Chains A and B, each alone.
Chain A
Amino acid sequence: MELVQMQKSLQDYTKSLFLDGVLDSQFLQLQQLQDESNPDFVSQVVTLFFQDSDRILNDLSLSLDQQVVDFKKVDPHVHQLKGSSSSIGAQRVKNACVVFRSFCEQQNVEGCHRCLQQVKKEYYLVKNRLETLFKLEQQIVASGGMIPAMELGF
């Protein structure tokens, strides 16, 4: 595929993530922090987010599977995930965490289980999309091209 086509594909793909609400403007903020001195900043932060989130989701599954659910343990995990997803612009994950927290507050175990499923669904979605995005970027760079800057006018 020609470089120009790859760059267009990347732009279209990125746009679609915003239009679908998978990412919000905070992701653009992260991209602004990337430059020649820190060329992989976004993918590095996102990778840390993935590692962090995998751990949190695991802890959440364990906590919710207990005979007696300790919401004092569950809520901080969700709060943490909400925070980190918000920091990287993973909007749908963040929103799912917000709903999750309200069920924690109500101490609704069934509701929390459903929320966990929803959070996981949104998390795997954004993870998948971002991994694809980074692959597209890598292909461009490998072909000697530059990553096009995101235009905000869409």
Chain B
Amino acid sequence: MASDGGVSCLRRSEMMSVGIGGIDSPPLDVDEVHVLAVDDSLVDRIVIERLLRITSCKVTAVDSGWRALEFLGIDNEKASAELDRLKVDLIITDYCMPGMTGYELLKKIKESSSFRQVPVVIMSSENVITRIDRCLEEGAEDFLLKPVKLADVKRLRNYLARDVKHSNGNKRKLPKDSPPLTLSPDSSDSSPPRSTLSPDSSDSSPPPSTLSPDSSDSSSPPLSPVEIFSSPLLSPLDDEVDDVLTSSPESTPSLVRRQKMRSPGLD
């Protein structure tokens, strides 16, 4: 569907007829986590919005980086009077978007004095190591491999809830130095540690980064045919074909460096 100039991803009439979720916009509750989701794909916007709402987040979904900047008030230099009301706690954006990529959006957010401290998570359907590295180096908090699962969003949510609870006033600051990534026993030691959203100790999801197929987590049920169909066994072609953006030798998808921020199975 074409973008309609508005901030919400669907026109009100469309949402009414489709009946998806609630489109109410009561004043933002200070304690509620507010997420700005950016994705040019309508299907993906609906899904990510639902994933976030089901984990008790307030969601604003936009279809481009420009609209995201517009919503945040970054694209114009004057301080937005609405700034206090916005209280964006997390920005989650697709990487591949026409016009402005998620990476470019990330850079602009990090250049903004008002929003550079807001955690930015990148989503991508393409598991390209150099891409992931570039985003993390630019200050992205995490990198989610699409299709995004409920467990991925819950992990983000847990992290935010903990952070928001300990913040004072309206500042949603992240700890300056996030702890280095805890690699699971299955991971190779040659993988560089990187800052990522670590799960709460109470969170049953495994560490986000794992090099083994989805069945690595001992607490998950035995691999069902369903999971075999969606296992990496069927997707190496995808990953290798999609390395089109990188041509340097280091981007060769060697098993050692391949990291999927994916939680096995369903939550």
Please list the residues of chain A having a beta carbon within 8 angstroms of any beta carbon in chain B: 18-19, 21, 24-26, 28-30, 32-33, 35, 38, 40-41, 44-45, 47-49, 51-52, 76, 79-80, 82-84, 86-89, 91, 94-95, 98-99, 101-102, 105, 152-154
In angstroms, Cα B21 to Cα A47, docked, is: 15
Please tell me which stretch of B56-64, B132-140, B156-164, B227-235 contacts chain A, meaning at least 4 of its Cβ atoms lie within 8 angstroms of it.
Answer: B227-235
Q: How far is the CB of A55 from chain B (nearest CB, A)?
A: 9
Q: Could you tell me the dominant secondary structure of chain A's interface residues?
A: helix
In angstroms, Cα B50 to Cα A41, docked, is: 9
The number of residue pairs between A and B whose CB atoms lie closer than 8 Å in the complex comes to 108
Find chain B residues with CB under 8 A from A91 CB: 229-230, 234
B226 touches A (CB below 8 Å): yes
In angstroms, Cα B58 to Cα A16, docked, is: 37
User: From residue 240 to 267 of chain B, which have CB atoms closer than 8 A to chain A?
Assistant: 241-242, 244, 265-267
A19, A25, A48, A102: the one within 8 Å of B46 (CB): A48
> Which of the four size classes fits the interface of chain B?
35 or more
Find chain A residues with CB under 8 A from B125 CB: 82-83, 86
Q: Could you tell me the dominant secondary structure of chain B's interface residues?
A: helix
A49, A89, A98: the one within 8 Å of B238 (CB): A98
Find chain B residues with CB under 8 A from A49 CB: 43
- A87 with B241: CB separation less than 8 A: no
- B266 with A33: CB separation less than 8 A: no
Q: How far is the CB of B50 from chain A (nearest CB, A)?
A: 5
- B42 with A52: CB separation less than 8 A: yes
Q: How far is the CB of A35 from chain B (nearest CB, A)?
A: 8
Find chain B residues with CB under 8 A from A99 CB: 237
- B226 with A25: CB separation less than 8 A: yes
Residues 91-102 of chain B: 1 if any A CB is under 8 Å from the residue's CB, otherwise 0?
A: 000001010000
In angstroms, Cα B265 to Cα A153, docked, is: 12
In angstroms, Cα B227 to Cα A95, docked, is: 16
User: From residue 67 to 99 of chain B, which have CB atoms closer than 8 A to chain A?
Assistant: 96, 98
Q: How far is the CB of B14 from chain A (nearest CB, A)?
A: 10
Residues 26-58 of chain B: 1 if any A CB is under 8 Å from the residue's CB, otherwise 0?
A: 000000000000000111101100110010000
A25, A29, A79: the one within 8 Å of B229 (CB): A25
B50, B229, B234: the one within 8 Å of A18 (CB): B229
Find chain B residues with CB under 8 A from A29 CB: 147, 149-150, 266
Q: With A38-B21, A83-B41, A98-B241 as given contacts, are A45 and B47 in contact (CB-CB < 8 Å)? A: yes
B221 touches A (CB below 8 Å): yes
Q: How far is the CB of B257 from chain A (nearest CB, A)?
A: 21
- B43 with A87: CB separation less than 8 A: yes
- A88 with B43: CB separation less than 8 A: yes
B175 touches A (CB below 8 Å): no
Find chain A residues with CB under 8 A from B50 CB: 33, 38, 41
In angstroms, Cα B234 to Cα A79, docked, is: 18
Q: How far is the CB of A63 from chain B (nearest CB, A)?
A: 16
Find chain B residues with CB under 8 A from A38 CB: 20-21, 50
In angstroms, Cα B251 to Cα A90, docked, is: 28
